[in-house]
């Protein structure tokens, strides 16, 4: 017998397709940023699927927030390394 509930990955791809009109209305860097956010959702699909949230968007938002937090942490670490190098000179 087939599955009655789509997997998280299948549901995610459907949700991303439903945002096609929004993406199409974006310009330049905004399209790139949107695509990057959807990429982050795909990267964290396994974790989001394990969260078993009834609202798909909640898991998507958490994935995007996690991606943003990781990027902030990387920027902070880079800045601290640069500051340390600057103080040593």
Q: Are 55 and 8 in contact (CB under 8 A)?
A: no
How confident is the model at residue 63, as a pLDDT? 97
pTM: 0.84
Tokens of 24: 């199409």
Tokens of 77: 């670490």
Domain boundaries along the sequence of the chain: 8-88
pLDDT at residue 1 above 70?
no
d(CA 7, CA 52): 10
pLDDT in tens, 17-65: 999 999 999 999 999 999 999 999 999 999 999 998 889 999 999 999 9
């Amino acid at each position: 017998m087939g599955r009655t509930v789509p997997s998280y990955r299948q549901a995610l791809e459907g949700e991303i397709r439903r945002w096609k009109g929004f993406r199409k209305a974006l310009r330049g860097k905004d399209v790139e940023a949107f695509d990057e956010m959807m990429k982050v959702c795909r990267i964290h699909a396994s974790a989001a699927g394990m969260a078993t949230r009834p609202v798909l968007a909640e898991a998507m938002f958490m994935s995007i927030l996690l991606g943003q937090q990781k990027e902030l942490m990387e920027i902070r670490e880079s800045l601290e390394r640069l500051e340390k190098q600057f103080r040593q000179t």
